[in-house]
Amino acid sequence: MKKFAYTYSILRYIHDVTSGEFVNVGVAIYSPEARYISAICRTTYTRLNKVFPGINAEHFKSLMRHIQRRLEERGEHISNELPLFTPPSSVLEIAQSVLPRDDSSLQWSPVGSGRTDDPSAALEKLFDRMVTRYDDRQGPSGRTDDDVWRHFKRDLEEQHVLQYFQPKKIFVQDDEIEFQHSWKNGKWHCLEPISFDLAAADSIKDKAHKWLGQLASVKDASDRFKVYLLVGAPKNDSLRTAFESAVSILGKIPVEREIVREENAQILAARIAREVADHHPDV
- Whether 140 has a pLDDT exceeding 70, the answer reads no
pLDDT per position as a tens digit, 256-280: 999 999 999 999 999 999 998 887 6
- Which position has the higher pLDDT, 22 or 214? 214
- Residues 10 and 37 grouped into a single domain: yes
- Residues 117 and 182 grouped into a single domain: no
- Residues 125 and 170 grouped into a single domain: no
214 within a domain of the structure (yes/no): yes
Helix (H, G, I), strand (E, B) or coil at 11: strand
What's the CA gap between 90 and 193, in Å, rounded? 32
Pairing verdict, β 112-116 and 4-16 = antiparallel
pLDDT-above-70 percentage for the chain: 90
- Residues 104 and 201 grouped into a single domain: no
152 within a domain of the structure (yes/no): no
149 within a domain of the structure (yes/no): no
pLDDT per position as a tens digit, 147-204: 899 899 989 988 888 888 999 999 999 999 999 999 998 899 999 999 999 989 999 9
47 within a domain of the structure (yes/no): yes
- Residues 114 and 176 grouped into a single domain: no
Last residue of a domain, one of 82, 104, 138: 138
148 within a domain of the structure (yes/no): no
Pairing verdict, β 187-195 and 225-232 = parallel
pTM for this entry? 0.74
- Residues 127 and 171 grouped into a single domain: no
- Residues 101 and 129 grouped into a single domain: yes
Q: In Å, what is the CA distance from 95 to each residue of 9, 71, 208?
A: 8, 7, 37
> What value does the CA radius of gyration of the chain take, rounded to a whole number of Å?
20
Question: Which is nearest to 62 in space by CA: 31, 106, 22?
Answer: 106
- Residues 94 and 12 grouped into a single domain: yes
Q: For residue 113, what pLDDT is reported?
A: 94
Domain extent for 225: 157-279
**Do residues 277 and 283 touch, judged by C-beta distance below 8 A?**
yes
Where does the pLDDT of residue 207 fall: very low under 50, low under 70, confident under 90, or very high at 90 and above?
Answer: very high
143 within a domain of the structure (yes/no): no
Q: For residue 138, what pLDDT is reported?
A: 45
DSSP-derived letter for residue 194 is E
Last residue of a domain, one of 75, 108, 138: 138
- Residues 202 and 271 grouped into a single domain: yes
Q: How many domains does the chain have?
A: 2
Q: For residue 277, what pLDDT is reported?
A: 86
Q: For residue 91, what pLDDT is reported?
A: 94
30 within a domain of the structure (yes/no): yes
pLDDT per position as a tens digit, 61-95: 888 989 998 998 888 888 776 665 677 888 999 99
Q: For residue 273, what pLDDT is reported?
A: 93
Q: What is the 3-state secondary structure (H, E, C) of 116-181?
A: ECCHHHHHHHHHHHHCCCCCCCCCCECCCHHHHHHHHHHHHHHCCCHHHCEEEEEEECCEEEEEEE
- Residues 168 and 226 grouped into a single domain: yes
- Residues 94 and 177 grouped into a single domain: no
Q: For residue 111, what pLDDT is reported?
A: 95
* Least confident piece of the model among 138-142, 162-166, 201-205, 224-228: 138-142
Residue 75: which region, alpha, beta or left (left: phi > 0; alpha: psi -120 to 50)? alpha
pLDDT per position as a tens digit, 37-51: 999 998 777 677 776
What's the CA gap between 264 and 260, in Å, rounded? 6
Question: Which is nearest to 51 in space by CA: 12, 5, 9, 96?
Answer: 12
57 within a domain of the structure (yes/no): yes
pLDDT-above-90 percentage for the chain: 62
Q: What is the CATH number of the domain that holds 267?
A: 3.40.50
* Least confident piece of the model among 89-93, 229-233, 279-283: 279-283
Last residue of a domain, one of 79, 109, 138: 138
- Residues 214 and 266 grouped into a single domain: yes
Q: For residue 281, what pLDDT is reported?
A: 57
Q: What is the DSSP string of 67-113?
A: HHHHHHHHHHHHHHS-TTSPPPSSHHHHHHHHS--SSSSEEEPPPEE
